[in-house]
Chain A
Amino acid sequence: MSKAKVVSLAATGAIVFLLLLPSCSEQPSDSGGAETAAPEVKGKIGVTCMDLTNPFFKLISNVMAKEAAKVGYEIISLDGNNDPAKQNSQLSDFVAQGVDAIFLNPVDSKSAGEGVKKAHEAGIPVFTFDVQVTDPDARDLVVSHIGSDNFQGGRLAGESMMKATGDQGKIAIISYPEVTSCILRVDGFKDYLKEKNSKLDIVTELSGRGNRNDGYTVATDILQAHPDIVGIFAINDPSGLGAYAAVQKAGKADRITIVAFDASPAGKQAVFEKKLHDSPQQFPRKMAKGTVEAFVRHLEGEAVEKKIFIPCSHYYYDTAVDDESRVAEQW
């Protein structure tokens, strides 16, 4: 190896190192969000979400950072990457670091329990949002859970489906049975139909894995098996939009009512374009704000409810027309 090569390599190494240094030390203040309003930094809150590449969680994380900065706390937001093991070591890092609280959005409702126990043993209060921890030992250690009322949202979807179809015919459900919140949506949907003695006939219930591709594939198969369905309930917008693509390809967009869930930016636009009939709306901002508020109330020594559910609301074409957040492509 030539000497020049060694020198150039060493130089590159040094530059990379120098580049890293400032980015390390600057980062915390960046993630702190609005610094102007922040009085003094009293401490840090560790946040870990199941998937930060999902704009829903990115928004929650950003709003949390802003809200927490108002009361003098800095948010450390990490991505669980849909990997329970990775999330578990993030929780260990939070504990080792001695954060003042942990806001947890579990990748896996069961295996997150070990991390919650570890945090509790270190005296760190844990708040969950969006998805609950269901491990029986750890469940009670969580100070408070803040999430959408998915069951009630599912009931709203059932209501829309009954009205739009005239309560007659066969329908299909595109589910996602790995995720508790999605199970609750389906449960709520069925509960409403049952309560109203609906004449709708649920002919099949298949997993669309919560994404557009699988939603499309599964809906294509459903249309093959049951060409005469009049409605599809999909547990979120991506799988609902996948289903729409399949329905449109089959030339049945006029006959089949699709109800999705979330009112995500894409979902709002789709409702506006009348691709989706309804998409019961979740409120990630309220969820983020609610979590920070629960933490503050905890610090103030107020009694904090074990579970705080934020009700969903219908999102119809009429809602979409004047909705600025739809135009701005926001949640």
Chain B
Amino acid sequence: MTRLFADYGMVLVLIGLCALFSVLTIKEHMPSGTEAAEALLEQVHAECSRTDVILVVGAENTDSALLAERLGRELREAGYANVRTVVGSPRDMRLALDDLQAQGRQLAAVATAGDVLKWRVLDRISETHPAFAGYKRMAPEPYYWPGFLTGSNLLAIVDRIVVIAVIAIGMTMVIITAGIDLSVGSLIALSAVIGTLVMKHLGGLEAPVWAVPVGFLAGTLACGAVGALGGVVVAQFKVPPFIATLGIMLMARGMAFLITGGFSIYQVPDALAWLGQGRSLGIPNTVLLLGVLYVAAHVFMSYTPLGRYIYAVGGNTQAARLSGVPVKAVIVFVYVVSALAAGLGGSIQASQLKTGTPNMGVMFELYVIAAVVVGGTSLAGGSGRILGTLIGAFIISVIQNGMNLLGMESYTQQVVLGGVILGAVLLDKVRGGKGIGAFLPARTGSSQERTQHEQG
């Protein structure tokens, strides 16, 4: 257990953040399930007669719509003759009220839940339909639950980070070799633009389903080629990675604008949305993809010779070369992986937006690097863990999501996010790249052992 926290101490930070945001986002929710329907049914039984006009209202596409349909059906079955079910917008409810008034009917009760209670149609009935002013409003009792801890929000957290997390796999490898790759943000745009252009030329909106993987492949491979170029420049000509990838960053962004003329490409088949928005076996594809890629990358880095070479090159290049590691090939390899990951990230981004836009992914390289460093990989090279990066990515995503949920102002958000990243880097500096476990007493010995193992 101590070992676990020593390795992935950032897990604690992540859990802490989740707990913090859960507490801060507790708010009123309106039940809409079976019990709510039962409760409303009883209330109607108690307060209305079988001939009363009862309006059952639900907001379109929300849970209250399901509740309204169900309640309306049950009331009719129970013998209430004048039940009207309205599912839609405030406008639909207003029209229903107008209709009742035109027929000279009375209104005994409005049974509803959720958003409908906030509709001003209800508040203004006494003005707009004075005859109905005496109606009874029936709604289930609200309950309290954190807005942060809902299925849709947790999925939103994954969806917003999937692109960055995928690219961070490649970036972790690059940073472990003591390099850096600034081009990934631009490569997102390049890949998305090439991919969607291919789909556009293969038939646009009516393109066959296979056009989508072909487009993704074209975009990703193009990025891989660009990455190989960068890798060679760094490995063969000893150009500092910062400058080499800065050049590629500018070139790739420029190319994305050049080939699109600055416009978005939206003439794509519906199948494009599957990767970023669809589900397989009931699990969102983004979650599956992250799981598979991270397990594969973890196994690769921990258990294959090539993975260990990457650590060796970053730990001590000279020693690695002398002990027979093909240093140049390893360096080219990590930049290609990083670029391929960026290409895949671009494909996911295009899928999420169903568009290829040349201004996608601006500044993403910095978020990716931040995720890697927050995850415990040292910028000095030689040490770092793939799963730590995943946690780092989630920390950034949770902070961004939580701040949005709390409604923090955009300017403040930048300050906070910057502060958190700075704090993590400070931590990295102080602990000497040994994980947050540097602050736990029990782990000193095992960690040194591990570090040596990583470098050998």
A residues contacting B by CB (< 8 A) are 1, 5-6, 9-10, 13, 16, 20-21, 23-25, 27-28, 30-31, 42-44, 52, 74, 76-79, 81-85, 88-90, 92-98, 100, 108-111, 113-114, 120-123, 125, 135, 143, 177-178, 207, 296, 298-304
Contact = CB atoms under 8 A, between A and B. Distances in A.
Contacts of A108: 264, 355, 357, 359
Interface of B: 20, 24-25, 59-62, 65, 89-95, 97, 115, 118-121, 124, 147, 150, 152-153, 155-156, 159-160, 163, 262-264, 266, 273, 277, 349, 352-355, 357, 359-363, 400-401, 403-413, 416, 419, 423, 426-427, 430-432, 438-439
Contacts of A44: 407
Contacts of B266: 110-111, 113, 135
B89 A98 contact: no
A23 B156 contact: no
Contacts of B60: 123
The 6 A-B residue pairs with the shortest CB-CB distance, nearest first, are A301-B94, A123-B62, A79-B410, A96-B153, A76-B407, A111-B355
Contact of B262 (A121, A177, A299): A177
11 contacts: A23-B412, A25-B24, A28-B407, A92-B159, A92-B160, A98-B147, A100-B115, A100-B118, A110-B264, A114-B354, A296-B120
Given A27-B407, A85-B360, A95 B156 contact: yes
Contacts of A298: 89-91
Contacts of B97: 301
Contacts, number: 178
Nearest to B121: A301
Contacts of B95: 301
A1 B357 CA distance: 48
Given A6-B439, A24-B24, A298-B91, A110 B152 contact: no
A120 B401 contact: no
Given A20-B416, A83-B360, A92-B160, A299 B120 contact: yes
A202 B383 CA distance: 62
A97 B404 contact: yes
Contact of B121 (A6, A109, A299, A304): A299
Contacts of A135: 266
Contacts of A110: 264, 266, 355, 357
A328 to B, nearest CB: 23
A85 B353 contact: yes
Contact of B354 (A1, A98, A111, A125): A111
Contacts of B357: 84, 108, 110-111
A96 B147 contact: yes
Contact of B90 (A16, A93, A301): A301
B408 A27 contact: yes
A302 B89 CA distance: 10
Contacts of A43: 118
A42 B362 CA distance: 36
A9 B119 CA distance: 51
A31 B409 contact: yes
B262 A24 contact: no
A220 to B, nearest CB: 21
In this complex, which of A13, A74, A96, A177 has the most chain B Cβ atoms within 10 angstroms of its Cβ? A96
Contact of B118 (A93, A299, A303): A299
B62 A300 contact: no
B84 to A, nearest CB: 15
Contacts of A111: 264, 266, 353-355, 357
Contacts of B411: 52, 79
Contacts of A125: 89
A89 B162 CA distance: 11
